[in-house]
Amino acid sequence: MNLDFTPEDEAFRAEVRAFLEANCPPHLRGGRYTDLSREDLLTWHKILYRQGWVAPGWPKEYGGTGWNPTQRYIWEQETARLGTPPLVAFGLSMVGPVIYTFGTKAQKEYYLPRILSGKDWWCQGYSEPGAGSDLAGLRTVAVREGDHYIVNGQKTWTTLAQHADMIFCLVRTDKDVKKQEGITFLLIDMKTPGISVRPIITLDGGHEVNDVFLENVRVPVENRIGEENKGWTYAKFLLGHERSGIAGVARSKKSLEKLKGIARTEMAGGRPLIEDADFRRKIAELEIDLLALEFTDLRTLAAAAQGKPPGPETSILKIRGTEVQKRLTELTVEAVGYYSNPFLKGELGHNEGPVGPDYAVNVAPAYFNMRKTSIYGGTNEIQRNIISKMVLGL
Amino acid sequence: MNLDFTPEDEAFRAEVRAFLEANCPPHLRGGRYTDLSREDLLTWHKILYRQGWVAPGWPKEYGGTGWNPTQRYIWEQETARLGTPPLVAFGLSMVGPVIYTFGTKAQKEYYLPRILSGKDWWCQGYSEPGAGSDLAGLRTVAVREGDHYIVNGQKTWTTLAQHADMIFCLVRTDKDVKKQEGITFLLIDMKTPGISVRPIITLDGGHEVNDVFLENVRVPVENRIGEENKGWTYAKFLLGHERSGIAGVARSKKSLEKLKGIARTEMAGGRPLIEDADFRRKIAELEIDLLALEFTDLRTLAAAAQGKPPGPETSILKIRGTEVQKRLTELTVEAVGYYSNPFLKGELGHNEGPVGPDYAVNVAPAYFNMRKTSIYGGTNEIQRNIISKMVLGL
Amino acid sequence: MDFSFTEEQTLLRNSVARFIEDNYDFDKRRAMIRSPQGRDPATWAQFAELGLLAVPFTEEQGGLGGTPTDTMVILEEFGKGLVIDPYLPTVVLGGGFLRLGGSSSQQAELIPHIVDGSLILAFAYAERQARYDLNDILCTAKKDGSGYVLNGQKGVVIAAPWADRLIVTARTGGGQRDKGGISLFLVDAKAKGVSMRAYPTVDGQRAAEVSLENVSVPADARIGAEGEAFPLIETVVDHALCALSAEAMGLHRRMLELTIEYTRTRKQFDQPLSKFQVLQHRMADMYIHVEETVSTCYMATIKLDAPETERKAAAAAAKVQLGRAGKFIGQNAVQLHGGMGVTEEMSIGHYFKRATAMNAMFGDVDHHLRRFEALTQG
Amino acid sequence: MDFSFTEEQTLLRNSVARFIEDNYDFDKRRAMIRSPQGRDPATWAQFAELGLLAVPFTEEQGGLGGTPTDTMVILEEFGKGLVIDPYLPTVVLGGGFLRLGGSSSQQAELIPHIVDGSLILAFAYAERQARYDLNDILCTAKKDGSGYVLNGQKGVVIAAPWADRLIVTARTGGGQRDKGGISLFLVDAKAKGVSMRAYPTVDGQRAAEVSLENVSVPADARIGAEGEAFPLIETVVDHALCALSAEAMGLHRRMLELTIEYTRTRKQFDQPLSKFQVLQHRMADMYIHVEETVSTCYMATIKLDAPETERKAAAAAAKVQLGRAGKFIGQNAVQLHGGMGVTEEMSIGHYFKRATAMNAMFGDVDHHLRRFEALTQG
């Protein structure tokens, strides 16, 4: 048992670090995970694309890096170290792997390069108003008509659909079988007539998610992934893929450092807040949670490096990862005291400079926004169901 | 809305206090709630009996005090203030009210005076090995044979059965109906042939509870409460009655004071433990829990004083009351540090003096023992079921 | 001992509840918040008409002679309705300073205007370095002839953009964190030297950063004796804590009700969410927290007239309780609403935001725990 | 990076597990605890035979040259079996002091006796006023000719009634709480002036209050340089924290398994308890705590050889985790066992008692949180 990196790993780390230092534009550094524009996100995407590093998770033959799990872990550490922007997951981490695993030759040749280059921005058509955690309960219907499916229904919580060129959708193609067995996986051009997008404004005043309405949308049959009515298989594959990196350890470490910095600056009782016993304790408890999470993540990673597939025990990473993230935003709100209260975002415009310290801007909206993390991707309650059934056999 | 006591209440308080000061023997004061012998308990019982105060909850006509809820609250405060011994509840608070409410004239005349005088020590035959929280699932059987029931079965968790003269039992008299509908309530003399008692040693090394085996035990029909197969009604009445005082506020206040005293004496980092920020915080959080509980209890009491019956919302008192009690023992264990570790009780004998400070004796066993409070009388999980169904209508 | 309400209190509660139902629904509230002014002055005029602004003042002062319990009743209903209007700054805080510490001429001059709705007040006390310590004050008031000249910065002054007058804490003596040497001043919000940067707050109110630069006030702008305002500030803030606790009662109960409603109708896996035992127990725990908020609010309200230590400990306990219960109830209410819980369109999120903001007001859970510790553990 | 075990480690684990299964069941363990001596010497002899007592020592020292991971494997299995024998005091602590700080003649004289099972050690460090501070020492060692004379009281010395020698911390200089001036001495348990009051502990072990009255020891009874023992003590105690964490892994996992087993068979309302969602989620949370104990144990064990600050922070984190997880898992395991959980007859309660005792050993959650804070927050 050891934590040692091989000399090759260390050389890889040095290479990555040098590249990031040299190529990540200063204004995109420092962990600006929200409030990035489409342009910002694409700028970074294209820098990585040119380097050939935009798809660390993909096999080499499809344009990925072919990195092993340890290298991907180092990559995550180094990007978090500098606070580079996130990559939008829907193409790279979600539909991409589905396409290269289950797609036809034509689908691979057409879509994968466009995902890699950033030409197509994807979004995800999974959730529906009536089907949240019970994903298979979806009701969007696709009816075959010659070479097309005619799709009708509504998707919701569609993140960044306002920027998207393509959407991958689960649709119902057979109502008379078990609900998991009548689902088909379609790739749909967002410019197809009949698609409309309506913003959902979230608690933090932000516009990140949307309703997507589909009305008599004609989708060519060649846009179907795999077989008709087998969509649930591909959907589950995608969800399993989505799970990796879900612990968010590197980012939470960065946020923890920020929090400590704030606590060193804020005053409480005439002394820095970080000398306040109660606040110290809360930070320490959270840091220990994060260490435990990190090593649970590393154990999963080490198992993956030995070729073991991720099991349902990764639900721990989702549960504890999101709990840590939420708690970090909560403590940051506490740390800034009254200055969590000014609200400069949303419809009232935010062209003015900050009220109070820079680091207090947006901490409350971030706290509100992060509530979503224990809801999306299968609520934490669902994750506990998974653990109790699949791991503990209850 | 006010907390004022009337002048009559204040006079009553003065009378009670004077009586207690004058009549409670010094060796029985100070909150010795465990480790009291049968003799100690009876000594105190008889002192109160002579005063006519042994049954504060009973109507005057049956030998009770006839006190109103406020007076009973004052009584609880004052007895807790001095730390007088508890009164054993099985006769006074449980079967007594059942007898005076549902009993025959003969039963009332025979049993009630014996309960009041302490002549009969009662125990409770409710729980069975196969029926814990699901009380109505009991399987002890009573078959009518002439003027007798022949009882066979096993009761468990029977507190202080080793001292008991009488047991009140729920038995099944009809197997072919809904489980709540075939239960009968019997009063059984512990000296009846066929009854045997086996001690259950608990985690703390103590002998408080027992298994009670009933083998062909002949019980006269006149020992039945009310009607055959209607026992569930009387059982539920009894459980509702048991609930009052379950919050245990006055005692927990006493324990909290003890804990603070320990924290003032114990040293941590060269200063009294009570100056330790972490420990201070834990005490304060608990004290606020206790204040909230006290006022929830007072609200229930005030409602009772206005003639409203206690509702399912008293489950709060059970849940939070036991949580506070358990937490108090937990913090006491923490407070004494290493000296929670010596174990001087149980089969290895405890005739030696304490190891470490006096106040550290038995704190770990008390912590272990108090685990029971969230299990007995309907687990706290059952209480939450009750709240969600009966109060919230879920 | 009595926890019931008088007939008058029940009437008061009903009239506030009816007003909110008729005039303060989700869309109307949103429209007020989004309006340039951030509130609807007509609401305030109706508060005056209903007599709500007169409640805590004695009849001699032109008020209704209400008790803290009356104020509690009003604030509880405000909590249910998420009222954004400046009742706390104007009536509880501003009115409190005048009632309990103002001179008879100050009372005679100002209270009638509070009562008739023509005077809005804001309490400017917080400073950047002070966090939640009411005694940590750098703002100065220097004697200047018979009056004073004020200089300093006050942060996150709730309702300041709406206020006609500010009540400002300033040092007339002592060091930065001394409890002595603190004085209170009435300052005209439009006085020379007063400047504001106004902004909305996360919970839909308006606040401002207030800068005081050589602001001259006459001697009779001072409330109470020079340098001796701190006990009055503590008393009035304890009244505000009780008012917040009352608001929290309404807020917490409404969050539970909304969650029960939502989980009863929302189905997952062919069952209403309300049928899942885990969620049932979560709601049972939310209910316990609600009742504890109620209990501590009653305690603190009843003890507003108790001896100082008892009053302070009770108020601190109520604030701790509202903070921790607000977090538990709010976070779980949002979680149980699922995706809907994080949208602007559902009211639950707005309750959650108010609960979050309330936790910081006049000191968070940690602050009041420490206060409680000092009072109960020595 | 690798979290797997070598083939040798798997063999070691299996042999310990088999020994416990064959020789350490519930009734046998109870019989040992109730026997006058409180343990069965035959067990210890078999530990020697299995080579367990030789694991951490180098081959030159007569040991097996094992790593901290090997010790972890042994202790994890001990945790599952609730082993009461003095492995921690003798091999991890006593052996640790000799391995890492003993002179070559001390090593040569004593380690073979540890390895062959003929020497039991106990670490006498805690004092009444010290709580968990290893540096808070009143016990003195005064130079006396070439040797020392020891005076003082040591409390709750685990395994002292069984020990042949005690390892005692005493002041050769400095004030009560100084980190300098602390020395370590080997003291014969039967030496003149050593007296003990022995007693059982809540978790089935034996301990004693140890009194040292003018106890003479020769100069070569001192381990390491005079007055400079503190860093060695911290290092060896960090090894002990890792060993406790490993034991906790076994203990916590076993508590979860027992609870799963019990809830699967126990029916209430015509359903196994394991079918109630609330209890399922409780067990899911217990499982998460178990895995976190594992993760922090791995971290701390791997970091035993890391730079000092990193080593200390990792050990403190592991101790915090085992304390809080032990409480959560233990309390819920008992609760889910219902009435059976509080009886002496079910093993779950004995695990819970051990978990409770472990929380206090070498400092509780608060103590190690504070240590962690100092190391990570400055």
Written as one string, the DSSP assignment of D163-216 is -SEEEEEEESSS-TT-STTEEEEEEETTSTTEEEEEEEBTTS-EEEEEEEEEEE
Q: Do B186 and B219 form a contact (C-beta atoms < 8 A)?
A: yes
**AA identity, residue B211:** D
> How many domains does chain C divide into?
3
Say how far apart CA D69 and CA D297 lie, in whole Å: 10
Q: Which of C204, C227, C250 is the last residue of a domain?
A: C227
Q: Which of C138, C268, C358, C370 to mutate to test the interface with A (most CBs of A within 10 A)?
A: C268
Mark yes or no for CB contact C260/B393 under 8 Å.
Answer: yes
Q: Do C371 and C253 have their domain in common?
A: yes
CATH number of the domain to which C21 belongs:
1.10.540.10
Q: Which of D189, D210, D227 is the last residue of a domain?
A: D227
For the segment C97-111, what is each residue's pLDDT rounded down to a tens digit? 999 999 999 999 999
Mark yes or no for CB contact D1/A394 under 8 Å.
Answer: no
**pLDDT digit of tens for each residue in chain B (394 aa)?**
888 889 999 999 999 999 999 999 999 988 776 667 889 999 999 999 999 999 988 999 999 998 988 898 899 889 988 989 988 889 999 999 999 999 999 999 999 999 999 999 999 999 998 877 788 899 999 999 999 999 999 999 999 999 999 999 999 999 999 999 999 999 999 999 999 999 999 998 889 999 999 999 999 999 999 999 999 999 988 887 766 678 999 889 999 999 999 999 999 988 999 999 999 999 999 999 999 999 999 998 888 878 887 788 889 999 999 999 999 999 999 999 999 999 986 444 455 678 889 999 889 999 999 999 999 888 999 999 999 999 999 9
Angle formed by the axes of helices D277-302 and C277-302, to 10°? Answer: 90
The pLDDT of residue B345: 67
In the predicted model, what is the mean pLDDT of residues C9-17? 97
3-class secondary-structure state, position B144: strand
- Chains interfacing with A (3 or more CB pairs < 8 Å): B, C, D
How far is the CA of A73 from the CAs of A300, A321, B164, C161, D1, in angstroms? 11, 16, 68, 51, 11
Percent of chain D at pLDDT > 90 equals 98
Say how far apart CA C303 and CA C291 lie, in whole Å: 18
Residue D359: pLDDT band by 50, 70, 90 thresholds?
A: very high
Choices 1.20.140.10, 3.40.50.300, 1.10.540.10, 3.40.190.10: CATH for B7-87: 1.10.540.10
> Residue C91: which of C10, C161, C203, C167 has the closest Cα?
C167
How far is the CA of C48 from the CAs of B63, C42, C44, D81, in angstroms? 58, 10, 6, 74
pLDDT at A351 over 60: no
Q: Do D334 and D218 have their domain in common?
A: no
Residue D10: pLDDT band by 50, 70, 90 thresholds?
A: very high
Mark yes or no for CB contact D3/A299 under 8 Å.
Answer: yes
Measure the CA dihedral A347/A351/A357/A359, to 10°: 70
Tell whether C324 is covered by a domain: yes
So what CATH class is A247-390?
mainly alpha
Q: Do D317 and D286 have their domain in common?
A: yes
Chain D interface includes C269 (CB < 8 A) = no
The pLDDT of residue B37: 86
Q: Which residues are CB-neighbours of A257 under 8 A, at least 6 positions away?
A: none
Q: Do D259 and D331 have their domain in common?
A: yes
> Strand locations in A178-289, DSSP E?
183-189, 195-201, 207-220, 224-225, 267-268, 271-272
The pLDDT of residue B347: 43
What value of ipTM does the predicted structure carry?
A: 0.95
Q: Which residues are CB-neighbours of A285 under 8 A, at least 6 positions away?
A: D320, D369
Q: Integer distance in angstroms from the first to the last C-alpha of chain B?
A: 31
The residues of C whose Cβ lies within 8 A of any Cβ of B are: 1-5, 69, 256, 260, 263-264, 274-275, 277, 280-281, 283-285, 287-288, 291-292, 294-296, 298-299, 301-303, 314, 317, 320-321, 369, 372-373, 376-378
Tell whether D183 is covered by a domain: yes
Pairing of strands C121-124, C165-171: parallel
Mark yes or no for CB contact A371/C344 under 8 Å.
Answer: no
pLDDT at C287 over 50: yes
For the segment C113-126, what is each residue's pLDDT rounded down to a tens digit? 999 999 999 999 99
The pLDDT of residue A348: 43
> In B, residues 183-222, which contact D (CB 8 Å cutoff)?
200-203, 205
- Range of C247's domain? 231-377
Tell whether D1 is covered by a domain: no
Q: Do D50 and D185 have their domain in common?
A: no
Q: Do D298 and D263 have their domain in common?
A: yes
Q: Do C178 and C222 have their domain in common?
A: yes
For residue B5, the chain C residue with the least C-alpha distance is C1
Give me the residue from C201, C268, C338 closest to A375, CB to CB. Answer: C338
Say how far apart CA B334 and CA B363 lie, in whole Å: 9
Chain C interface includes A126 (CB < 8 A) = no
For residue C279, the chain D residue with the least C-alpha distance is D278
Tell whether C2 is covered by a domain: no
In the predicted model, what is the mean pLDDT of residues A341-351? 65
CATH number belonging to domain A122-229: 2.40.110.10
What are the sequence ranges of the domains in chain B?
7-87, 122-229, 247-390
Say how far apart CA B372 and CA A370 lie, in whole Å: 39
CATH number of the domain to which C340 belongs:
1.20.140.10
pLDDT at C184 over 70: yes
The residues of B whose Cβ lies within 8 A of any Cβ of A are: 277-278, 281
Q: Which residues are CB-neighbours of A272 under 8 A, at least 6 positions away?
A: A263, A264, A265, A266
Tell whether C1 is covered by a domain: no
Q: What is the mean pLDDT of chain D?
A: 97
pLDDT at A230 over 90: yes
Distance from CA of D271 to the nearest CA of C (A): 14
Percent of chain A at pLDDT > 90 equals 73
**AA identity, residue C46:** Q
The pLDDT of residue A301: 85
| B16 sits in which H/E element | helix B7-23
Q: How many CB atoms lie within 10 A of CB B208?
A: 19
Contacts of B203 in chain D (CB under 8 A): 342-344, 349, 352-353
Q: What is the mean pLDDT of chain A?
A: 92
In the predicted model, what is the mean pLDDT of residues C84-106? 98
In the predicted model, what is the mean pLDDT of residues C29-42? 96
The pLDDT of residue A349: 46
CATH number of the domain to which D188 belongs:
2.40.110.10
Q: Do C89 and C110 have their domain in common?
A: yes
Q: Do C79 and C146 have their domain in common?
A: no
Instruction: Identify the bridge partners of residue C173 per DSSP, sorted by sequence position.
Output: none
Mark yes or no for CB contact A313/D291 under 8 Å.
Answer: yes
In the predicted model, what is the mean pLDDT of residues D299-319? 97
Mark yes or no for CB contact A134/C269 under 8 Å.
Answer: yes
Q: Which residues are CB-neighbours of C238 under 8 A, at least 6 positions away?
A: C300, C304, C311, C312, C315
Mark yes or no for CB contact D342/B371 under 8 Å.
Answer: yes
Contacts of C153 in chain A (CB under 8 A): none
Tell whether D2 is covered by a domain: no
Q: Which of C67, C98, C119 is the last residue of a domain?
A: C119
Distance from CA of D278 to the nearest CA of C (A): 5
